[in-house]
Structure formats: C-alpha cells, structure tokens
Structure 1
Amino acid sequence: MPEHIATPARTNDILRRHGFRFKKSLGQNFLTNPKILANIVAAGEVGPDDDVIEIGPGIGALTEFLAEAAHRVLALEIDPRLLPVLAETLAPYDNVDVVEADVLKADLATLIAEHFDGQHRVKVVANLPYYITTPILMHLIDTPIDFASITVMMQKEVAARLTARPNSKDYGSLSIGVQQNMDVAVAFTVSRTAFVPAPNVDSAIVTLRRREQPLVAVADQAAFDKLVRGSFVARRKTLWNNLTNLFGKDEATKAKLTAALAAVDVAPNNRAEQLSIATFAALTDALAAAGL
C-alpha cells in the first residue's frame, strides 16, 4: 500500500499531478496529518457496524481512514474538479461511493437508501467547510434521519458556542438550539498548522448524539425558537430591550411582558446569556399565558 493520502509528500504530489488549485470560496483546507485523521475516526467510534456519510472528502484523506474502519462510506463532494482525484486516490477501496452533491440540497434519505443496506448504523464524519459550518450542522440536526452520531471538524470558536453554558460569552441561540436536542462534546482540538493551505483559525472535533428526549420539554417549539433568537439579537442589551423589540413597545404589551418575566422570576435587566434553556422554556409558556 502507498503511504497515506494525508502525508504532506503524497498530498503535494496528488495536488501537483492533478494541477489542483484551492478554491477559497469552497473553504478547502486539506489535513496533512494521518494521526489526527485516525483520531477523528476514533472520536466517531467508527467500526464495521457503521455506514458513514462524509461531507467534503477533498482528496480522500479522511475517506481513506473511514474506509478502513467502516462497513461502507458515502462521500459527498461539491467540487467536480475533485472527482477524478478521488477516483484515483480511493481506487483501492471497494466500499466507498463518491457522489457529486451539495449536502444542503441533496436528498439524504434517498442517497442512504441507494448506497447503504439498511442493516448498519448511519453516522456522519466530516471536516466541514468553515464558511458554511453552521448551516450544514443545523441541516443535519433538523433532518428526520436518525444518525447514530455526527462527528465533525469545525472552527474552534464555533465548537465553543455549541458547548457553551449560561453566563459565558459564547452562550447564545446556537448553544440552545443544538443542546436542546443533542448531547455535544469536544473530542480534541487541531492546530491550523495541520492543514494545507493553513486556515486563519484553529479547529476542534465535535461529536453530537441525539438525546432520547429533548433536554427541556417545550410546548410550542416555534414560539420557543422565536423567543431564543429574539433574546440574543442585541447581546449587550437587556432582555427587556430585546423583548420589547420582539413583541412591541405599547403599554399593553409591556404589561404582559412584565407579568411573564415575573412569573418565571427573571429580572427585566437580565441579559439573555444569563437564562438557562429551562428558563427560556418556562418564559415561552409564561408569554403564551400572558397572551403573547
């Protein structure tokens, strides 16, 4: 077997022979450290009982490690220039299918039915493009597909937001939106020097698993989501300021807001980052009871 795709020498040889030029618009940064790739596969606990979806395989560096561990791998690549590269680098593996697709537009359920046998757990393992990390992650979380786990590399700063707790600068609507339905953990961090070209930020590997039940029961999910998003619109302003901008500033509305906040024992001059997910859920119910 040739040396791993991710070794710097082989990566550079592949890129040179194919005349590949990185597209900044696609957030292309390729890992050149086999040990890190092995650790990503380990973080995802990928084994022969798993079928894996990879998003953005690049030249196949992570795909190679996934193919060696998993039952099957379906790699979705948006850049058609990489298809002939992948055809070469992944030729030794008969358990890998590469499909040209945008994960945000692809019918994942159909692709899973076409490429997997339905007898294995389905996991997602990927090095997500930085410029579109959050939309892809929320798309995966919101899909009805029951992924056994999602293990993805992202900007370290985004990982901090996903795992943040109340009363921290990173805690916000993304923290709440993800933690409400997912167990989230940072497996390890990766230096920017492990990539070509080197990005401007360090990265983190995050593993997400769907909770059997939401962290907090919410009677009206749409109202809860609206409240959470609206409460963090202006982080430096008080909760009262954000709520009046969200619901209205007339006296009748202010009276209802006052009653709802009092019902859950939240001071109007608190900031959104001080409220737990449970408090946001209770406030959602209190606002509904107050007629908002």
Structure 2
Amino acid sequence: MTTGFTEPAKKHLGQNFLRDTSVIDRIVLAIAPQPGDVIVEIGPGQGALTFPLLKQHGDITAIEFDRDLHAPLQTAARQHGELHLIAGDVLSVNFSELAAQRSDAQGQIRLVGNLPYNLSSPILFHALDHAHAIRDMHFMLQKEVVERMAAGPGSKVYGRLSVMLQAYCSVTPLFIVPPGAFIPAPKVDSAVVRLVPKPHGKIEVADHASFANVVRAAFGQRRKTLRNALHGVADSATLEAAGLRPEARAEQVAVADFVQLANLLAAG
C-alpha cells in the first residue's frame, strides 16, 4: 500500500484500488500524455494511476469524493508533480467550465479514471453532456459494461448505452484487466476503453433531447416491437418514413437509424 494511505477500500463507494504496475503502465501508454494536455482523473483513489501520470506529465487535475483520501493524495503527489484536487461528486462537476478555466487546454480536457462499477453509466452520460469540451476519455470499467458500450445491432448486449455513446463518440475497447490487478479483487473482469467524441460537424443528432427520448423508449421494453415500444412517441407512418420497420425490435436498429428517426421527429 502507498505510504500515507491507511483507510481500507470502502465498499459502499465501490472502491477497488488498482495495484498491478503492468496494467498501470499499459493505461499510461494508451493515454500518452502530451505537453499542453489538461488531464482530469475521476476517482484517483490511492494514486495508482495519478502518480505515474504526474511523473510523466507534471500536472493533473483529479476529482475525488472520499475526503479521507484527500490529504494523503496531496502529500504523496508533491514528489511527482502538481495535483489540483477537486473535492466532491464528479456528477456535480461541470466539465465544460473546467475546460474553459484552463486556457492551455485549447477548450478541451482529457478524462481518465478507474470508474466505480455502481456509477459508471451515470458518469458516462454526464460526460456525454459535455462531449464538446472533452478531447478523449480513457476509462476502466466492468468488462460487461465495455462490451455494451461497443456492441453493434443484433448483439444481445446492444442497448441504450451502446446507441447513446456511439452517436457521439468512437468507442474502442483496449484490453481486459483481471480481478487480481485490484485490492480488494472484484468478482468480475474489468476492461479499459477509449472514447473519442466526434467533432461537432460529424455529430448528426439534431436535437439531443429528442434523440435521448427515442432511444430510452425504444429500449425501455426490449421484447416489444418498435411500434409498441414507441407508442406515443412515433407512429408506424413516422417509423416507415424514417426507413424503419414497425415490427422490428430496438436491438435490430442501427445507431444511424435511431438518429434519423429522432431528427425526423424533432423536425416535425
């Protein structure tokens, strides 16, 4: 355990501290920090990823909810570089404002983090809300979540998370991390994933709220056909006008087709 960290992992916060140096090295290599980057780490924990990034980059901003970790993080960070610690819940942090505050970021930040399993989806959706202010994201998540993020239509795990993320980002699974890389060891495999938000001109979603509503409704009851799942949202004529079969199910519909339907509804 890193000197100064005396508190055990807190189960209610979903803490699993990364310890495998070979995994840490692979993550840092994947991130490949460059001069001028503004790197923001979500949940630094005991600094397993923070300190190697500081050694290489010299300056990191980190968001940590657990106040028991703040003092030892700040103390240990001094020998590696400058740590800007934000106390609180990441879901309350405005990434757009954070990017704007850092003039050397050219308006964008780079997000990294070993995300707690119980908060991974809310954090991903929160990041989506600020995608224009984010250059890329490198996250460690539960392996099955990464599989859902990258899944294509026809897959059993293709769903709302897949569609929402892929409409705004390119999603690239990088590598799997076994339970033994953590203390305490989780009961499932983890995986590292890279998300790169699309340039504004490449995002085809005309209205975010309309798109989110369509996708949420379509996958709300997976066994239902689009005609039934989207009852009250889009009628059969509108589905057909968007090039969709009313008798199809949501998991058969490509991301681009959901975008087309939502844009049609927003325009009407």
TM-score (norm 1): 0.82
The answer to whether residue 104 in structure 2 is matched with residue 118 in structure 1 is yes
Q: Give 1:285 shift.
A: 4.7
What's the Cα RMSD here? 2.4
Paired residues in the alignment total: 267
In structure 1, the residue matched to 2:120 is: 133
Q: Give 1:158 shift.
A: 1.0
The answer to whether residue 246 in structure 2 is matched with residue 240 in structure 1 is no
Change (3 A) 1:241 1:213: same
Match of 2:89 among 94, 98, 102: 102
- Per-residue CA deviations over 1:182-240 (Å, capped at 9, x if unaligned) read 11111111011110001121111111111124666233332222111101111122222
Distance in 2 of aligned mates of 1:185 and 1:53: 20
In structure 1, the residue matched to 2:189 is: 202
In structure 2, the residue matched to 1:282 is: 260
In structure 2, the residue matched to 1:53 is: 40
SS in 1 for 2:215: helix
In structure 2, the residue matched to 1:173 is: 160
Query: Which amino acid in the other structure matches residue 41 of structure 1?
Result: V
Change (3 A) 1:117 1:219: closer
User: Which one has a bigger Cα radius of gyration?
Assistant: 1
Q: How does 1:78-93 map to 2 (within 5 A)?
A: 78-93=65-80
Distance in 2 of aligned mates of 1:59 and 1:52: 17
- Tell me if structure 1 keeps the 8 A contact 2:95–2:133: no
Distance in 2 of aligned mates of 1:180 and 1:111: 24
Query: Which amino acid in the other structure matches residue 97 of structure 1?
Result: H
Match of 2:25 among 25, 34, 38: 38
Q: How does 1:260-271 map to 2 (within 5 A)?
A: 260-271=238-249
Change (3 A) 1:217 1:87: closer
The alignment-based identity, stated in percent, is 38
The answer to whether residue 205 in structure 2 is matched with residue 218 in structure 1 is yes
Deviates more, 1:205-214 or 1:258-267: 258-267
Where do 4+ consecutive residues of structure 1 move more than 6 Å?
A: none
Distance in 1 of aligned mates of 2:201 and 2:155: 22
The answer to whether residue 235 in structure 2 is matched with residue 257 in structure 1 is yes
Structure 1, unaligned runs of 5 or more: 1-10, 248-255
Structure 2, unaligned runs of 5 or more: none
Query: Which amino acid in the other structure matches residue 141 of structure 2?
Result: M
- Tell me if structure 1 keeps the 8 A contact 2:41–2:60: yes
The answer to whether residue 196 in structure 2 is matched with residue 227 in structure 1 is no
TM-score (norm 2): 0.89
Deviates more, 1:212-221 or 1:96-105: 212-221
Change (3 A) 1:96 1:288: closer
Distance in 1 of aligned mates of 2:105 and 2:249: 48
